[in-house]
Chain A
Amino acid sequence: MSPADLEDGHRIVCHLDELLEARGMTLTELAERVGVSIVNLSILKNNRAKAVRFSTLTAICDVLDCQPGDVLSMAR
């Protein structure tokens, strides 16, 4: 995704797609385990989120056994 595709002038890109695929997990399953609605996770996955709660990020990292830097990165 190019930075131009991102909204609100930020360049943060979410990698939930790749992380889920690597673990053979669905978004629905992640939503259930994290305790966040699938709608909100979908917003995050599709780079439409404007902000992420630390609690959400922590829960995602716990479930996917990864670091915040694996979930989010900044596009150059």
Chain B
Amino acid sequence: MRSEPILRLAELASRVVALAGLVTLCGYAVFGAGAGTGLPNGTPNWVWQGLGRAPLVEDLFEPTASVVPADRQVSDLVFALDKAVATSMLDPGVEQDPGADSYQGAEGVNVRNGYRFTASFDVGWGARVAIASLGALGAIGFAAFWWMLAGIIREARRGAVFTRRGVQRLVVMRGGLIVGPTGWVVANRVIDGRLLAESRAAGKFELAESWVEVPNYTTITLGLVLLALAVVWRRGSQLEEDVEGLV
């Protein structure tokens, strides 16, 4: 079959993407650079985590932001703290780092490139575990999605396109894409809300009262596309079963 090499390549690529998501997250969680945490750039994450200098989220997940949905968490929190940071930067005591792309804000807030920030106060192990769990969940979901896609391609490569297993995979993938982003936003909201409340109570920031988070509609749309695809797949699976054993 002429499409065999393409399918083989697609399967391999899907599996590589799945594994890369996991490896990247694990790698950066352990070895990523702790820029902006008050420790030298390039300090492994586990060192500054161990020293109790864990930032909120950015440096924990930033390197994988393009790979795992953790970028939602990062950007939302940055957005939420934006006003607080801006307020603190209006403080006459805040000095701009000359010639650099960073500003030293009040209470350990660093603003880089005018929009990124890290807050180098200790958020506590409970919050770290919650944040890390959410990130890991996203990475695992990401990996599972691509792994299941590879499974569908593998079946197609073997000539069995419309199978019950393929339908099951699509249903799971669709569910993950539709429910995942919403669950992600809710979980983020809960964690971020608690962190911000704690930081406010500790006098770290004067925060904006509220912010609006929206689920990732692109992902949800993709989930809906998969929903349609799963319906088609199921019908194909029924047809394939009908002709099974036909001579």
Contacts and interface: CB of A to CB of B under 8 A. Distances in A.
Overall SS of chain B's interface: loop
Contacts of A41: 247
Contacts of A28: none
Interface string A15-59: 000000000000000000000100011011000111111001000
Contacts of A8: 245
A52 B244 CA distance: 11
B190 interface: no
Interface string B8-46: 000000000000000000000000000000000000000
Interface residues of A, number: 13
Contacts, number: 23
Interface in B219-247: 243-247
Contacts of A48: 245
A51 B244 CA distance: 8
Nearest to B244: A50
A48 B247 CA distance: 10
A53 B243 CA distance: 10
Contacts of A43: 245, 247
A41 B246 CA distance: 10
Q: Which of A40, A50, A53 has the most CB of B within 10 A?
A: A50
Nearest to B246: A51
A43 B244 CA distance: 11
Contact of B245 (A36, A50, A56): A50
A56 B244 CA distance: 15
A53 B246 contact: yes
A56 B247 CA distance: 7
A15 to B, nearest CB: 14
A36 B247 CA distance: 8
Nearest to A7: B245
Q: Which of A40, A43, A51 has the most CB of B within 10 A?
A: A51
A8 B246 CA distance: 13
Nearest to B245: A50
Contacts of A53: 246-247
Contacts of A56: 247
A56 to B, nearest CB: 6
Nearest to A36: B247
Interface string A52-70: 1100100000000000000
15 contacts: A8-B245, A36-B247, A40-B247, A43-B247, A44-B247, A48-B245, A49-B245, A49-B246, A49-B247, A50-B245, A50-B246, A51-B243, A51-B246, A51-B247, A56-B247
Interface of A: 8, 36, 40-41, 43-44, 48-53, 56
Interface of B: 243-247
Given A40-B247, A51-B243, 11 more contacts: A8-B245, A41-B247, A43-B245, A44-B247, A48-B245, A49-B245, A49-B246, A50-B245, A51-B246, A53-B246, A53-B247
Question: Which 5 pairs of residues, A with B, have the shortest CB-CB distance?
Answer: A50-B245, A51-B246, A49-B247, A44-B247, A40-B247
